[in-house]
Structure 1
Amino acid sequence: MKQSSANLGRVSWRLLLLIVVLAFAGTAVWFWRDFSRFGATPLRVSASGESIDIGRGTSFKDIVRQLRGQGLSTSAPFYWRLLAERMHVAGRLHAGEYALVPGITPQQLLSNMAQGKVMQRDVTIVDGWAFRDVLQALAKADKLKHDTANLDDATIMQKIGSPGEKPEGQFLPETYAYVRGDSDLDVLRRAHDAMNKTLAALWAQRDPNLPLAKPYDALILASIVEKETGRADERNKVAGVFVRRLQKNMLLQTDPTVIYGMGSSYAGTIHKSDLTTDTPYNTYTRLGLPPTPIAMPGKPAIEAALHPATGDALYFVARGDGTHIFAATLEEQNRNVACYQLKHCQ
């Protein structure tokens, strides 16, 4: 009997041990599955455009607290720690703003933070904009520091490393990416560098015998071409007209320069009196190019200014449909004006 009791006791302990092992194994399997599910389950992102901003020096514990505080995750904090340790990123998360797109998982978010894939936004400088338009666009850019507020043009140019330069025409029309913490001065500095590099490269490949003494002259002419036409098939023709007028020592007589010189007094209509009122930008009263560009010329306009179309046209007038008609003589130009501007076609 004693031997049977002992055998029964050993069996009971073995059974109990088996139950404990099975329970532990079952718990481990459940935990691993739940943990794996956590890493691959999308966070609670309600809509695109959401983000999380991690400040410098924020601890991992505070990052998790922030995620939970924003309602992105209800999982236990140690799940986040375990996932980060498993990914070997626990001590390598970068500060910055990170996009929370619908469907993003904890694993993807931690990977982005470890790689510093911070959220980028874009601001676009449009071909033909004036400098004031650029500043207005930068002032409206979301999450961009507005360090140019209340600064005059001279101070802005000094702060971007180009003291003494006029800002008009000096920033390449393009789309520029930025991250939270960047300032409008950072964007302007990059746009200015891009224009300098683009202009230098195109100037080196210019046509020979142009009446342009330096790259800045090309920038001025390109800005006029930019304001006169937005059509790719006309830029070189328009540039050709102005190049020939410069070569013949003729007045350029281009309305966009007059309008620019009028400044805030321009109300949408140009009058004959405006054409005879002298300003540094009035190309009806002054020979040669105006003193500065009148807009931000895009790369195609600069290329046109440096590679103008050949021919004998010295005049052009708008047809009213977005295109222009070109003329070699004043008599022909007057007929075109009468037909397309005054609607007195013969």
Structure 2
Amino acid sequence: MMLSLAMIAKNEEQYLDRCLKSVSTLVDEMIVVDTGSTDRTREIARDNGAVVYDFEWCDDFSAARNFSIEKTSGDWVVVLDADEYFAEDYADVIREFISRGQQIGRFEFIARFVKDGLTQSSQYSSSRLFPRHIRYMGRIHEQLVSDLPRCDTGALVMHDGYYMTEKSERNIKLLLQEVKQHPGDPYLLFQLGKQYRGNNEYEAAGNYLLEAYQNLSGPTPYALEVILELLEVLTHTKKYVTAFDLVEGHAELFDTSPDFCFATALFLLDYAIDTNDHSVIGDIEQCYLTCLEMGKHQAKEVVIGTSTFMAAYNLAVFYETTGLQEKATEYYVLSSSYGFEPAKKKLEGL
């Protein structure tokens, strides 16, 4: 079975070489479709053995991606963006996956981002390996259109394209067009709300996220992320009554999601400070302890650290603020043991 890389790129000279070198041992050909670069993107692609085609950008990611797939000659396609790269050589893993027959392969991704001045990482999965006949749909946050089963491949991809970059203006423009064409689509509303939140436009973010939440139906892979984003925005906009309703309506997540417990602790802390209601202080402590307990059992995180070093650090700050210095030191030490720099600095100052 022949495997092709299908990539679209624009002004990616900073990342492209790393990406193509990580994938070159996995594929039989590399197709790079350039959508209007003014830097060395085309040259770097050719230097790595890729075949380069030009595509006139038309504000439609799926159109560009489908064009790149049409230029491939393989039986299967792997899709990566220039700012992504395989963590190691997965040639054998991917070939074994393809040998199983018609299915769509999911990669696990770890993405860096900056929030509140701190570099953090999130993890998610995305379908990127598939038979060549499948195509994309959607102007932005495009999705594969297929009824084939989606299965994990075991391959890990690193992603840092949103790290210290600004793409929200472009994304918001395209998402607004998509929402106009598909009103009420919870996934598009979620992505739009997320973009507004990232742009610090919290009122707009809250409106779209609340609509996305209200339109969820049945088991939805991104439902937890909608809840987390909405809770964060409700906290920031001080809509505490709605936030309490949201938390109480998903009490089952206290047993499964460290991210939910972590976000609830942040909400309760803001609420306690703003309203001087100290009745929730014990709940804040319990949320962080629950996060750490789930971490002992390798609970799945959205943001890396919510069941380990970030929860330990916030709990240490909580104890320090409430005058329990011995406990604070204990949890700073725990957070520091994961290599968390803010915890190390705190210990140096104690």
- Give TM-score scaled by structure 1 length: 0.25
If each structure's strand is expressed as a fraction of its own residues, which one has the higher value? Answer: 2
Structure showing greater Rg:
1
Which structure is richer in relative contact order (CA contacts within 8 A, separation 6 or more)?
1
